[in-house]
């Protein structure tokens, strides 16, 4: 089993990511830590506890992360994810509490104790990961890689140049991409191709277990924001689940090793990921950047994961 720590800001696509990760026998989810992003820290923490309660996974330690970015005020995405951060389905109240430790302390404990190097999977702003990497340099050797959702080579979704997770905390992203740890970047180049369509949501609903029902209702809400014709989408981009799909079925993806720099100061480009896709510089590669996905196989992967909840 591959040991992983999920650092997330649920968030509809973060919640689906958690559900997919916990359906798999190949991933050992050592902890879930929460970042402030789609909603405030208090709300993303509560949403994480609610999803794990729904899944009956009170055994997984959950810890609360930083309430704000390293050097900036928090920006939230309530226009996408609603007032709760997870509007749509009726979710159970949390049946358990977070651990006393902070997200950073819990990450350190789990990475230190793990017999095999741990994969960190951030699907929100990178604040917690940056604080952890800075505070515990001696633990870097026990981190296998960082599989993150964030950035893009060629577009933005929060500004013309920047993707939301990186835009919220560019200083944190800068630390993460410079840490010398392999990064797998699932950015908008691939996640905008990982769209879930109305007919896929009906397939999910038809699975007919309480978890798939919840995912269908999450997606119904998530669709609303993405139906705006300005995006030119047919469905809704399932950003964060690309991280889990890549770990479990990497053959679905096409990727290129690149140098990626983070723009922290640009007048128009703050939070931009500058991706040297065509190797125009001699900067050493620091990330594997995802560019393409087999969308139909990705949807089948999601259906397979959710169908497993019948047996659990």
> Could you say whether residue 189 binds ligand BDR (CB under 6 A)?
no
Give the 3-state secondary structure of residue 301.
helix
> Could you say whether residue 86 binds ligand BDR (CB under 6 A)?
no
Give the residue with the Cβ less far from ligand BDR, 163 or 189: 163
> Could you say whether residue 14 binds Ca ion (CB under 5 A)?
yes
Q: Which of 124, 150, 170, 241 binds Ca ion (CB under 5 A)?
A: 124
Q: What is the DSSP string of 83-118?
A: SSSS-SS--PPPSS---SSBHHHHHHHHHHH-SSPE
**What stretches of the chain show up as alpha helix (H) in DSSP?**
12-21, 41-55, 78-81, 103-113, 127-135, 164-168, 170-177, 188-191, 198-207, 210-226, 241-248, 295-307
Contacts of 145 (CB under 8 A, 6+ apart): 119, 120, 181, 182, 183, 184
> Could you say whether residue 11 binds Ca ion (CB under 5 A)?
yes
Give the residue with the Cβ less far from Ca ion, 94 or 122: 122
Q: 280: which DSSP letter?
A: -
> Could you say whether residue 211 binds ligand BDR (CB under 6 A)?
no
Reply yes or no on whether 12 is catalytic: no
80 binds, among Ca ion, ligand BDR, none (CB under 5 to 8 A by kind): ligand BDR
Euclidean distance between CA atoms 154 and 170, whole angstroms: 17
Give the residue with the Cβ less far from ligand BDR, 110 or 239: 239
> Could you say whether residue 17 binds Ca ion (CB under 5 A)?
no
Give the Cβ contact number of residue 102 at 10 Å: 18
Per-residue contact flags (x/-) with Ca ion for residues 184 to 223, judged by CB under 5 A:
----------------------------------------
> Could you say whether residue 80 binds ligand BDR (CB under 6 A)?
yes
Contact region with ligand BDR (CB under 6 A), list: 43-51, 97-105, 156-164, 289-297 = 156-164
> Could you say whether residue 222 binds ligand BDR (CB under 6 A)?
no
- Tell me the β-bridge partners of 102: 64
Q: Which of 46, 48, 123, 195 binds ligand BDR (CB under 6 A)?
A: 123
Q: Give the pairing type, strands 2-8 and 27-34.
A: parallel
Contacts of 132 (CB under 8 A, 6+ apart): 103, 104, 107, 108
Q: 200: which DSSP letter?
A: H
Q: Which residues are catalytic?
A: 239
Q: Which residues bind ligand BDR (CB under 6 A)?
A: 11, 13-14, 38, 77, 80, 123-124, 149, 157, 163-165, 239-240
């Amino acid at each position: 089993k591959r040991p992983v720590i999920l650092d997330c800001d649920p968030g509809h696509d973060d919640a689906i990511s958690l559900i997919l990760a916990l359906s798999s026998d190949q991933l050992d989810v050592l902890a879930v830590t929460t970042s402030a992003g789609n909603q405030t820290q208090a709300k993303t923490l509560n949403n994480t506890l609610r999803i794990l309660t729904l899944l009956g996974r009170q055994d997984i330690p959950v810890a609360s992360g930083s309430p704000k970015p390293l050097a900036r005020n928090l920006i939230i995405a309530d226009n996408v994810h609603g007032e709760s951060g997870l509007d749509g389905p009726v979710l159970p109240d949390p049946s358990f509490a977070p651990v006393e430790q902070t997200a950073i302390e819990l990450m350190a404990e789990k990475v230190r104790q793990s017999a095999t190097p741990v994969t960190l999977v951030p699907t929100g702003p990178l604040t917690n990961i940056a604080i952890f990497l800075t505070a515990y340099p001696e633990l870097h050797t026990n981190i296998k890689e960082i599989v993150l959702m964030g950035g893009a080579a060629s577009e933005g979704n929060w500004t013309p140049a920047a993707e939301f997770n990186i835009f919220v905390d560019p200083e944190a992203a800068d630390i993460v991409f410079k840490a010398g740890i392999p990064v797998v970047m699932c950015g908008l180049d691939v996640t905008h191709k990982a769209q879930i369509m109305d007919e896929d949501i009906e397939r999910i609903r038809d699975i007919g277990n309480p978890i798939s029902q919840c995912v269908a209702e999450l997606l119904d809400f998530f669709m609303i924001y993405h139906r705006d014709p300005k995006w030119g989408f047919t469905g809704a981009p399932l950003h964060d689940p690309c991280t889990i799909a890549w770990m479990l079925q990497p053959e679905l993806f096409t990727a290129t090793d690149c140098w990626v720099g983070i723009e922290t100061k640009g007048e128009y480009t703050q939070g931009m990921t500058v991706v040297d896709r065509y190797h125009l510089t001699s900067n050493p590669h620091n990330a594997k950047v995802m560019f393409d996905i087999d969308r139909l196989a990705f949807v089948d992967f999601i259906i397979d994961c959710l169908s497993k909840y019948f047996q659990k």
